[in-house]
A and B are shown apart, each in its own frame.
Chain A
Amino acid sequence: MRIVVCIKQVPDPEGPRDAYFINTANATVEPRGIPPVLSLFDENALEAALRIRDSNPTGSVTVLSIGKRITNAVMLKAMAAGADSLVKIEDEALDASALDSYITARVLAASLSKLGFDLIVVGRQAADFNDGQVGIGIARLLDLPSVTLVRSVHISGHEMTIERVLPQGCELVRTALPALIMVGNEGGELRYPSMIQRREAKNKPITTWNLADIGLTTLPAKRVIRQCLFAPELNDRSCRMIDGASLTEAARKLAERLHSDRVV
Chain B
Amino acid sequence: MPTEPTILIVVELQDCDLHPLSFEALQAGNQVAQNVNGRMSAAVLGNGTDAAVKRLQGFGLEHVYVVDDPLLESYHGEHYTAALAEICHSAAPVYILMSNTLTGVDLAPRLAWELEAGLVTDCVAVQTADVGPVFVKPVYSGNVMAVYRAATCPFLVSLRPRAFAPLQPQNSKTTEIVPVNCALNPNPRVAQVERIDEEVQGIRLETADRIVAGGRGIGGSEGFGQLRALADVLGAAIGASRPPCDLGWVAPTAQVGQTGEIVAPGLYIAVGISGSTQHLAGMSGAKTIVAINSDPQASIFRIADYGVVGKYEEVIPTFTEALKDMLT
Point out residues on A near B: beta carbons under 8 Å.
11, 13-15, 17, 19-20, 22, 27, 29, 41, 100-102, 124-125, 127-133, 135-137, 140, 145-149, 161, 165-176, 184-186, 188-189, 221-232, 235-243, 246-248, 250-252, 254-259, 263-264
Contact = CB atoms under 8 A, between A and B. Distances in A.
Interface string B186-228: 0001111111111010000000000000000000000000000
A172 B106 contact: no
**Across chains A and B, which 8 residue pairs bring their CB atoms closest together, nearest first?**
A223-B118, A255-B322, A133-B109, A251-B318, A169-B198, A145-B189, A251-B319, A247-B314
A130 B141 CA distance: 9
Contact of B190 (A29, A169, A173, A185): A173
Contacts of A235: 284, 303
Nearest to A137: B113
Interface stretch (B25-33, B142-150, B165-173, B176-184): B142-150
A251 B150 contact: no
A242 B112 contact: no
30 contacts: A101-B119, A130-B139, A132-B105, A132-B109, A133-B119, A136-B106, A140-B114, A149-B102, A169-B198, A171-B195, A172-B196, A174-B193, A189-B246, A225-B150, A230-B145, A232-B142, A232-B145, A236-B302, A238-B305, A242-B308, A247-B308, A247-B318, A251-B318, A251-B319, A251-B322, A252-B318, A254-B319, A258-B323, A259-B326, A264-B326
B105 A149 contact: yes
Contacts of B61: none
Contact of B323 (A100, A125, A169, A255): A255
Given A227-B131, A254-B319, 15 more contacts: A14-B276, A129-B140, A148-B105, A161-B193, A168-B197, A170-B195, A170-B196, A171-B193, A189-B246, A223-B112, A229-B145, A246-B314, A251-B316, A252-B318, A256-B326
A250 B315 contact: yes
Contacts of B121: 125, 130-133
Interface stretch (B34-42, B63-71, B288-296): B288-296
Interface string B108-141: 1110111011111110000001010010011111
B144 to A, nearest CB: 5
Nearest to B312: A247
Given A130-B121, A237-B304, A258-B306, A184 B198 contact: no
Contacts of A243: 308-309
Contacts of B147: 226-230
Contacts of B323: 255, 258-259, 264
A126 B195 CA distance: 28
Given A165-B252, A189-B246, A130 B122 contact: yes
A166 B195 contact: yes
Contacts of B142: 232
A102 B193 contact: no
A146 to B, nearest CB: 8
Nearest to A130: B122
Given A20-B143, A184-B259, A255-B326, A264 B311 contact: no
Contacts of B318: 247-248, 251-252
B60 interface: no
Contact of A170 (B113, B139, B198): B198
A183 to B, nearest CB: 12
Contact of A241 (B191, B197, B308): B308
A258 B193 CA distance: 49
Given A185-B245, A264-B327, A239 B302 contact: yes
B310 interface: yes
A264 B267 contact: yes
Contact of B112 (A11, A130, A133, A188): A133
Contact of A185 (B101, B122, B189, B259): B259
Contacts of B144: 20, 22, 29, 229-232
B57 interface: no
B290 A175 contact: no
B191 A173 contact: yes
Nearest to A246: B314
Given A20-B143, A130-B258, A232-B142, A140 B305 contact: no
